[in-house]
Amino acid sequence: MSNLINLRQARKAKARGEKERLAAANRAKFGRSKAERQEAEAEEARQLRALDGAMRERDEPDAS
């Protein structure tokens, strides 16, 4: 026989889990010092420059 579950409790437990995931993401995003934020931004900018520098240029066919 299967276990009975209370749907209201299951729904609330799911909502609590979702809120906890959102809170963890916000702690990671906003719970850093200014130096840590600047370091992360500099690293992201460095990665974007490296990616753009490695991009190959496409040869456009002549329209004539």
Domain residue extents for the chain: 8-52
Q: Report pLDDT digits (tens) over 25-50.
A: 998 888 888 998 899 999 999 999 99
pTM listed for this prediction:
0.44
In SS3 terms, the chain reads as: CCCCCCHHHHHHHHHHHHHHHHHHHHHHHHCCCHHHHHHHHHHHHHHHHHHHHHCCCCCCCCCC
* pLDDT at position 9 over 90: yes
